Amino acid sequence: MVRGHKPAARVQPSNQSSQSTVRGDSATIRADSSNPITPGTSAPNSQRPSPASTISTGPEPTSKSLSAPDTIIPPGSLFISPQSVITPPDKNPTTESLRQQVTKAFNSPKKRQRKISKVNDGEEVEELSLEEIAEIRKLDRATRWHCFLYFTNCLWFNIAKECYGDAFDIDSEAGQTVRMKVFDLIKGIKHKTLEHMEEHVKEIMVAPEHVAVKGLYTTRPLLLDFFAKLFTPGNFFAVWRYMRGYVEFEGSSELGQYYMKSIYINLAIEMKLYLDICTTSPKGKNNDARERLLTFYNEVPTHKDFGDVDKAEFKEIQERYRNQHTPTVKEAGETLKECFLSIGAPPPKKKQMVDGPTAGSGAPGAAPSVDAGAGLAEMVLPGIIAPGA
């Protein structure tokens, strides 16, 4: 048909009627007169299902020029076409509700993480200014240290205060944007750390020197000694890769090195036991064991052995920022009490070593005194499984 030529008569197919309207419950969506629907091009509903939100009583036209879209982009989608309409739950949406949906779609975690990753890798991001790049790097560094010391997002507001000052309003729109960025980073760090620990433990267990005794290391006391012998700074950073280039093991205090060694050994123990359970499970995985592993990971920094651990105990590589506020050590969870093994009494804080201990007093969370000849069983704190128990 030649565009603009009006046919003398419209011929309808004998086996199927064609309509220029699609009737719904109470409204009629009419075809755009500038691009009429060619008769006979309708497809039956059985061949082309309509969207869930569309109620059709007749064949659905295939034309893309309807005044309402035939594809609805759900709220939160990563891609939004300029012609798309986001349908809110209410029939008369406000401009603000539509703006929030569009903002949510574009502020996706994957986009933020990709942008932060590019900045940290030294790549140029055209849409960012030098000031914005510096801000991203500062926020990223603070988040890494927070995750290294606390594992979870429990004190995310300290990161905001550290990067933007004490006057920064964490309840403002900018504050919630920072919160989303920090939560995205910490979630990714947690996932990667557990993934790297799983790879690390699997590599150790398939090594020729360990294959013969793999089945013998099935209890925490035996695994404590096993992984303690395997600890090296290299093995630590094979798991805590996000701290490479941010902390130096050799330059850290004795308490800082103790912390790094202890979290490595205990997380390796828990991962080994988790993998043993998965090996004997029908589908190669166990949801209960996985949940226990995640709970253990979240609770590790709350152990009383780490009551004096803060950022000052570590040698930070590159620029040093002011220290974060150190929270009071929380009551350890049941999973941590049952599973965590102390590798010995924690050394004194660096400040205590300089000033000297005060008679009859000690800092909150300080380790109990232990005789020089005491064995590991005497050094394990109450409530923790002791080797040989």
> What pLDDT is attached to residue 380?
32
Q: Domain range spanning residue 153?
A: 135-355+373-379
- pLDDT value, residue 95: 52
Q: Are residues 253 and 341 in the same domain?
A: yes
Round to whole Å and give the CA distance between 377 and 290.
29
> Do 253 and 292 belong together in one domain?
yes
Query: Are 222 and 350 found together in one domain?
Result: yes
Q: Phi and psi (nearest 5°) for 328? A: -65, 135
Q: Residue 333 — φ and ψ, nearest 5°?
A: -70, 165
Give domain status of residue 1, yes or no. Answer: no
Domain boundary, last residue among 85, 104, 123: 104
Indicate if 80 and 171 belong to the same structural domain: no
pLDDT of residue 385: 37
Q: What pTM was computed for the model?
A: 0.53
The count of domains in the chain is 2
Give how far the C-alpha of residue 315 lies from the chain's centroid of Cα atoms, to the nearest Å.
26
Whether residue 14 lies inside any domain: the answer is: no
Is residue 237 domain-shared with residue 88, that is, in the same domain?
no
CA-angle at 234, arms to 228 and 185, nearest 5° = 105
User: Token pair 């691009």 is at which residue?
Assistant: 35
Q: Within a domain: residue 109? A: no
Tell me, yes or no, whether 96 and 159 share the same domain. no
Question: Using the 8-state DSSP alphabet, how is residue 133 labeled?
Answer: H
Looking at the structure, do residues 79 and 193 belong to the same domain, yes or no? no
Helix axes 173-205, 109-120, angle to 10 degrees: 70
Residue 32 lies in a domain: no
Per-residue pLDDT of the chain (389 residues; tens, 9 = 90+): 445 555 555 545 545 444 444 444 444 434 444 444 444 444 444 444 444 444 444 454 444 443 444 444 344 433 333 333 344 444 455 555 545 544 444 455 555 555 555 555 555 545 677 877 888 888 899 999 999 999 988 888 888 888 888 878 888 888 888 888 889 999 999 999 999 999 999 999 999 888 877 788 888 999 999 999 999 999 999 999 999 999 999 999 999 999 999 999 999 999 999 999 998 888 888 999 999 999 999 999 999 999 999 999 999 997 544 344 444 444 445 565 666 777 877 888 776 655 554 443 333 343 333 333 333 233 333 333 333 33
3-state helix/strand/coil string of 263-284: HHHHHHHHHHHHHHHHHHCCCC
Same-domain check for residues 185 and 306: yes
b/e string for 332-345 if b means 16 or more Cβ within 10 A? bbebbbebbbbbbb
